[in-house]
Homo-oligomer: A and B are copies of this chain.
Amino acid sequence: MLKRFANRGFVESFNSLPTAATAVAKSGHLDELIVLEQIGARRSFAREAEIYAEGDHPDCWFRVISGTVRLCKLLADGRRNIAEFLHSGEFFGLDDGDERFCSAEAVDDIIIMRFPKSATERLIAKRPELAMRLCNLTLRNLSRAQERMMLLGCMSAAERIASFLLELTERRDLGRFLDLPMTRRDIGDYLGLTTETVSRTLTAFKRDGVIAIPSMHRIEIRDREALEALAEA
């Protein structure tokens, strides 16, 4: 298990951005990640299970080992927004203050690593660099959130879906084939669209030969150029 931390691949996935890996590798702080591992405990959740609810007291944070997690916010009348999908290697739940800002739910069957806040704080007291590390991770998340505000505020349905597909391929580089563990409704709530519009747009992309849909939860990128043109119109 610790072997995974010695490997650059892990570090990369931890931050899920390329520059993080080199930064960590150069700074020689791999040992901290191992320490972090020591205070973490594995837990698994079934599809659709709630990991925590909005408003809960945040006493720990998590890293996804396998599967996909969604962070949700609900409005009184049931309208839902998915703030973020988290894939394997990504972290979530590092909320400040007394209440969770979002709820966290398992999209499919998942395994996650749980880090108690108290143990993290003790670790930070010993190794203050870790605070800076967490700060940078949070800044990354903020930057992604800003990206998505742009998407929600400015983009058409087709542009949103194209961006979404490209985001997925970039965050989990699986080549041309992409699996979508989430439902059309999840995608809609993530992109500010209805299931119908998501479905129609995907069908249109298929008709135009941009993608293929071998099965409901699987998509093949057939024309990445076209998708990129659609995304950054």
Contacts and interface: CB of A to CB of B under 8 A. Distances in A.
Given A2-B121, A128-B124, A192-B154, A96 B145 contact: no
Interface string A176-192: 00000000000001011
Contact of A146 (B2, B77, B83, B136): B83
Contacts of A76: 232-233
How would you classify the secondary structure of chain A's contact residues: helix, strand, loop or mixed? helix
Interface string A61-78: 000000000010101110
Contact of A125 (B2, B118, B125): B2
Interface of A: 1-2, 5, 8, 11, 19, 71, 73, 75-77, 79-81, 83, 94-98, 101-102, 118, 121-122, 124-125, 128, 131-132, 134-136, 138-143, 145-150, 152-154, 189, 191-192, 232-233
